[in-house]
């Protein structure tokens, strides 16, 4: 009887000496946490889908900067649709899909995370050129150039993730202590440098320069705003819109830094990141929460997103010629 009960508590009863124990049923407080996380995943997917539809549908939003926001929204949408729900399910269940599928599953969050970081760097470069070299911005930053950069961003993210998980793919079960556990290991130092330190350094250096130039332009506009002609007034409006865009995207980057820093700070201790552990799971959920914040920031700072949202939820985008609607 005891032997039968013991076998029933195993993930794989036929593998007595190799199987992991089944996780205990979650307590009431744990269930509430999972419900909240599931709601966050749903909201994350829904809001980022609205961003994707808005930028894809309305022609006025087909600008180089918005294409970068579209790419970021795609990675955030995948986090809400695939990564968060599976992470929630993995917490209290046995992994039954095998060791190879375990490693392949972790490719998804790694690719989306790397792509998000790459998109943030591209957004910083875009704002740097727009503010610091505005005369050459239309020729340097075209839709074709941005599309190529976005394609390279996602391609490099996929290649980098494969290289980071290469040892795990060669020997999928090397870090699992028993069958029914899904754990992979990566080099914390390499990931820290490539996915955090280098991109963050680029972002900070570029945005420092952006805000220095932006502040000097703001002072200049205040000093000369009364003396400008009608033509000059239009130039001032253009500069103001560029400064506002730089500020909004600056808020986006600050939120990104706040959510991503805790995960990578562990690497500063010199330890490798054991993916699948409880501590790592908490930090990862903080990092993924950034995917929920981004569309909220758009809603707070971008009037076009609020207007597009109203048109989408009221199904007005189904009307003929809705793509040509003035959204700005």
Within-domain flag for 78: yes
- At 177, give phi and psi (nearest 5°): -85, -20
Q: Is residue 220 part of a domain?
A: yes
DSSP string, 201-218: HHHHHHHHHHHHHHHHHH
pLDDT for 270: 56
The pLDDT of residue 122 is: 92
Does residue 14 lie in a domain region?
A: no
In a domain, 276, yes or no: yes
The domain that holds 158 is classified in CATH as 1.20.1070.10
pLDDT value of residue 54: 93
pLDDT score recorded for residue 7: 47
Count the helix, strand and coil residues of the chain and give each as a percent rounded to the nearest 5.
Answer: 75, 5, 20
Number of other residues whose CB lies within 10 A of the CB of residue 145: 13
In this prediction, residue 19 carries a pLDDT of: 80
User: Does any domain span residue 40?
Assistant: yes
Q: Specify the DSSP class assigned to residue 142.
A: -
Q: Domain of 55?
A: 23-324
Cα separation, 285 vs 256, in Å, equals 13
Contact yes or no for 294/43 (Cβ under 8 A): no
Total structural domains in the chain?
A: 1
Tell which residue, 133, 49, 40, 83, has the closest CA to residue 281: 83
3-state SS track over 232-295: HHHHHHHHHHHHHHHHHHHHHHHHHHHHHHHHHHHHHHCCCEEECCHHHHHHHHHHHHHHHHHH
User: 201 with 120: CB under 8 angstroms?
Assistant: no
Cβ(248)–Cβ(301) below 8 Å: yes
Give domain status of residue 17, yes or no.
no
**Among the listed residues 215, 48, 200, 238, the one whose alpha carbon sits nearest the alpha carbon of residue 124:** 200
The verdict on residue 315 lying in a domain is yes
CA distances from 35 to 31, 82, 91 (A): 6, 16, 13
Euclidean distance between the first and final Cα of the chain, in Å? Answer: 71
Q: What are phi and psi of 21, to 5 degrees?
A: -75, 145
Q: How many residues does the chain have?
A: 328
What's the angle, vertex CA 59, arms to CA 142 and CA 143, rounded to 5?
10
Per-residue pLDDT of the chain (328 residues; tens, 9 = 90+): 334 434 457 877 777 777 888 877 767 777 787 888 888 889 999 999 999 999 999 999 999 999 999 999 999 999 889 888 877 777 667 888 888 888 888 888 889 989 988 998 998 899 889 888 888 889 999 999 999 999 999 999 999 999 888 888 888 777 777 887 787 877 667 777 888 888 888 988 888 888 787 777 666 666 655 555 544 444 545 455 556 666 777 788 888 888 888 777 766 665 555 555 566 677 778 888 888 888 888 888 888 888 999 999 998 888 888 888 888 7
pLDDT at position 99:
82
Predicted TM-score (pTM) of the model is: 0.83
Q: In this predicted structure, what is the pLDDT of residue 197?
A: 85
Rounded to whole angstroms, the Cα distance separating 275 from 252 reads 27
In a domain, 64, yes or no: yes
Residue 87 neighbours by CB under 8 Å, 6+ apart: 109, 281, 284, 285, 288
Q: How is residue 96 written in tokens?
A: 């039954």
């Amino acid at each position: 009887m005891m032997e039968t009960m013991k076998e029933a508590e195993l993930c794989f009863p036929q593998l007595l000496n190799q199987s992991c124990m089944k996780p205990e049923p979650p307590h009431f407080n744990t269930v509430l946490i999972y419900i909240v996380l599931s709601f966050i995943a749903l909201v994350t997917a829904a809001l980022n889908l609205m961003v994707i539809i808005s930028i894809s549908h309305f022609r006025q939003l087909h600008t180089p900067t918005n294409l970068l926001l579209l790419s970021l929204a795609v990675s955030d949408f995948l986090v809400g649709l695939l990564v968060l729900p599976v992470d929630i399910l993995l917490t209290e269940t046995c992994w039954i899909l095998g060791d190879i599928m375990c490693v392949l599953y972790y490719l998804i969050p790694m690719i989306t995370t790397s792509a998000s970081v790459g998109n943030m760097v591209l957004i910083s470069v875009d704002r740097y050129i727009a503010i610091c070299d505005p005369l050459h911005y239309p020729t340097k930053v075209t839709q074709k150039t941005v599309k190529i950069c976005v394609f390279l961003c996602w391609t490099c993210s996929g290649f980098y993730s494969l290289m980071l998980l290469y040892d795990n793919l060669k020997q999928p079960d090397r870090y699992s202590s028993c069958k029914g556990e899904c754990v992979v290991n990566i080099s914390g130092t390499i990931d820290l440098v490539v996915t955090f330190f280098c991109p963050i350094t680029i972002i900070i250096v570029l945005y420092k320069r952006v805000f220095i130039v932006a502040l000097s332009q703001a002072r200049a506009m205040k000093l000369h705003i009364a003396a400008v002609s009608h033509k000059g007034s239009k130039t001032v409006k253009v500069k103001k819109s560029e400064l506002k865009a730089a500020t909004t995207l600056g808020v986006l980057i600050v939120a990104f830094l706040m959510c991503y820093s805790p995960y990578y700070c562990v690497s500063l201790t010199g330890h490798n990141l054991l993916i699948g552990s409880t501590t790592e799971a908490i930090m990862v959920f903080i990092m993924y929460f950034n995917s929920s914040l981004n569309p909220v920031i758009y809603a707070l700072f971008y009037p076009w997103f609020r207007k597009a949202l109203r048109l989408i939820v009221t199904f007005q985008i189904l009307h003929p010629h809705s793509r040509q609607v003035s959204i700005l």
